[in-house]
Chain A
Amino acid sequence: MSGYWAGILAILAINIIFAYGIFITAAAGQLNLGGAGFMAIGAHAAAVLGEQLGWTPAQTVPAAVAITACVGIAIAFPVLRTRGVYMVLATFAFAQVVTGVILTQPALGGAMGLVVTEYVDLPVLLLAAAGTTLLAFWLMATRFGLALRALHDDELVSTLMGVPARAMQVGAFAIGAGLTGLAGGLYAHHFSFVEAQYFNPLLSIYVLLFVLIGGTQTAWGPLVGATFFTLVPELLRVGGSWRYVVFGAIIVAMMMFRPEGIVTRSLVDRLFSRRRPAPDAG
């Protein structure tokens, strides 16, 4: 395998994990536009623990997941009071605060960034991505996943049916933050360098696009969305800067003709289920 494709596969694996982190929140009907902030926490936690305390990646990555999940829980309670456009803006502001704090603290790398010496190779990333994908499919098949889907479709009715909305949403937010931290930790160890400038608003925007274009109704969405978004720009590479124009046009067209995302529940039913597909709820 050439180095070029190895590089693309590594980015693809990290993007898939990152996308599932945002997807778990979106599956509960909440949009997180602060993905880059959570990933920055994971990446910098892994970097600082590895360099300052000499931990191995086997210790720093789980620690990064735990730290990011804890931050997720802490921020979930206030942030989940907001909804709709307000939640999008609040998570966006949160990510800006995180990168701003990292930029002003030399111990966290400041504007210079941190070098990470311990290297994690591609097979580990692919295994982690596969594991995350399986975890997401399993989660969506449990009662917890059912509750998330109910909240996604109609929060009021599911609350009336006895779904504890707040607990489920905080849980989803924390799990999502943990996965984002995993993506950040692996990113730090694979690319051997972290800097706050990488975790910019555009990264948060892209990962939310992965999830929304892929579709939030089933666990297939982030996998398809992240793969689509990582590979299409590469395939369009011949076109130079035009590829982003084409890419933007694809996004606009997707929202016009298939706003639910590429993969929907009825599509999955049609492809994989013997039972007659449910009439498309539209």
Chain B
Amino acid sequence: MSASVSSRHPLLTSIGVALAGIAAVALLAVLPGGSTLAQQVVSGLMLGGIYVAVAVAFTLTIGVLNFLNFTIPTLFMLTGMVAWGLSRWGLPFGLSPGLHWAPALLGGVAVAILASLIVERFTFRYLKTRHGDATEHAIPLVSSLGFLLIFEHLVLIFLGSEAQSFPVRFRLDLHLGPLVVGLPQLASLLLSLGVVFWLSWLLQSTRTGRALRSIAESPDTATLLGVEVARIVPIVFLLSGLLCGVAGALFVVNYSDVSPFMGEHVGTKAIAGMVLGGLGSIWGAIAGGLLVGLLETLGIHFFGGDAAQVAVWGVLLAVLILRPQGLFGASRIGKGKL
């Protein structure tokens, strides 16, 4: 199996791919009648930027802990809804009036990280109690489904079940020839990718990153070699909470509305992106997330929403069966990833 190029020089390769993409979009834009299509490509990539952050959160927990964390879409939703609640009503118990949108979003991110750490406290610490059969890997998965119910219904109780408009007042559009690129959208794509690059650097070059990668390879060996697994595991949850929070905040800035159900759509698309890129691979999740955003926007443009859904999940099923390592990667769970 050919090793993916991107695993050797990820930064250079991704810069190359980005330049090629920009060139392609520019070429498309100057062609007669191509500008609508180019506009779709641009919006698809912007949407993909949000999927990337959530897909990386998924892939990180699967890569290090072999745990499909179903609370991740809920953390994304929690950020948006809590931020909306803070800006509408301010801090609880009447401590302050409604907040400006920026501190409100920060508050939302903080709540997402806190919630993620609570999930860690109650799902992963107890995984030591192994009972040694084929379905034991489902234990944290089932716990995370329980937390999904808890968080979602707490939001429904305290913040209502309505979709809410949460206008963030900075609208600036960049006009590049016939193309319109929202500045907040561009900023959020860059911020999303920036967080992921930082995460990748963290994993490659820091002591914590080395510990995380050693746990991914083998928790038992890591323990023997002196890695304090119980101390390092919460970092995974902290990072995935941060990624979901950033994605949720960026979603609010871009689309200006929130709802208690916004996590489901983004969550399933992020899972799709992660699978396309290969489970446990961060570079795969980036490529997969952008690809799904692109496929979705173009699919809806050409075929309509329901057919696009069939296409995305059909491709996903085929990839899982035929190339479980993902479209680009050679890695598999537990070996040579992250």
**How many residues of B are in contact with the other chain, CB < 8 A?**
50
Proximity bits, B77-117, A CB within 8 Å = 1, else 0: 00000000000000000000000000000000000000000
CA gap between A201 and B73 in the complex, in Å: 14
- Residue numbers in B under 8 Å from A263 (CB-CB): none
**B66 adjacent to A85 (CB under 8 Å):** yes
Q: Which residue of A lies closest to B271 (CB)?
A: A89
- Residue numbers in B under 8 Å from A201 (CB-CB): 264, 268
A29-B133, A94-B317, A247-B149 are known contacts. Are A104 and B310 too (CB-CB below 8 A)?
Answer: yes
- Residue numbers in A under 8 Å from B70 (CB-CB): 205
Interface of A is mostly: helix
Interface of B is mostly: helix
Stretch at the interface among A115-123, A148-156, A186-194: A148-156
Proximity bits, A250-276, B CB within 8 Å = 1, else 0: 111011100110000000000000000
Question: Which one of A81, A97, A244 has the greatest number of beta carbons of chain B within 10 Å?
Answer: A97
**A241 adjacent to B157 (CB under 8 Å):** yes
**B148 adjacent to A248 (CB under 8 Å):** yes
- Residue numbers in B under 8 Å from A212 (CB-CB): 135, 138, 142
**B137 adjacent to A84 (CB under 8 Å):** yes
**B317 adjacent to A85 (CB under 8 Å):** no
Within 8 Å of chain A (Cβ to Cβ): is B62?
yes
Within 8 Å of chain A (Cβ to Cβ): is B314?
yes
Q: How far is the CB of A162 from chain B (nearest CB, A)?
A: 18
Q: Which residue of B lies closest to A240 (CB)?
A: B157
Within 8 Å of chain A (Cβ to Cβ): is B9?
no
- Residue numbers in A under 8 Å from B288 (CB-CB): none
CA gap between A26 and B135 in the complex, in Å: 7
Within 8 Å of chain A (Cβ to Cβ): is B324?
yes
Partner of A255 from the list B142, B271, B307, B321 (CB cut-off 8 Å) is: B142
A93-B317, A100-B310, A245-B149 are known contacts. Are A86 and B142 too (CB-CB below 8 A)?
Answer: no
- Residue numbers in B under 8 Å from A90 (CB-CB): 317, 320-321
- Residue numbers in B under 8 Å from A154 (CB-CB): 132-134
Q: Tell me which residues from 294 to 333 in chain B have a Cβ below 8 Å from any Cβ of chain A.
A: 306-307, 309-310, 313-314, 316-317, 320-321, 324, 333
A29-B135, A78-B321, A244-B153 are known contacts. Are A93 and B146 too (CB-CB below 8 A)?
Answer: no
Within 8 Å of chain A (Cβ to Cβ): is B122?
yes
Q: How far is the CB of B179 from chain A (nearest CB, A)?
A: 32
CA gap between A248 and B151 in the complex, in Å: 9
- Residue numbers in B under 8 Å from A89 (CB-CB): 68, 271, 275, 316, 320
**A255 adjacent to B149 (CB under 8 Å):** no
CA gap between A84 and B268 in the complex, in Å: 18
CA gap between A78 and B268 in the complex, in Å: 22
- Residue numbers in B under 8 Å from A93 (CB-CB): 275, 313, 316-317, 320
Within 8 Å of chain A (Cβ to Cβ): is B150?
yes
A88-B141, A248-B150, A255-B142 are known contacts. Are A31 and B279 too (CB-CB below 8 A)?
Answer: no
**B122 adjacent to A252 (CB under 8 Å):** yes
Stretch at the interface among B27-35, B123-131, B250-258: B123-131
Q: How far is the CB of A28 from chain B (nearest CB, A)?
A: 8
- Residue numbers in B under 8 Å from A252 (CB-CB): 122-123, 143, 146-147, 150
Q: How far is the CB of B170 from chain A (nearest CB, A)?
A: 35
Q: Which residues of B pack against A, CB within 8 Å?
A: 62, 66, 68, 70, 122-123, 126, 129-143, 145-150, 152-154, 156-157, 264, 268, 271, 275, 279, 306-307, 309-310, 313-314, 316-317, 320-321, 324, 333
Can you add 11 more A-B contacts, CB < 8 Å, to A259-B126, A259-B131? A93-B320, A100-B307, A101-B310, A104-B306, A152-B133, A152-B135, A154-B134, A205-B70, A209-B142, A252-B143, A252-B146
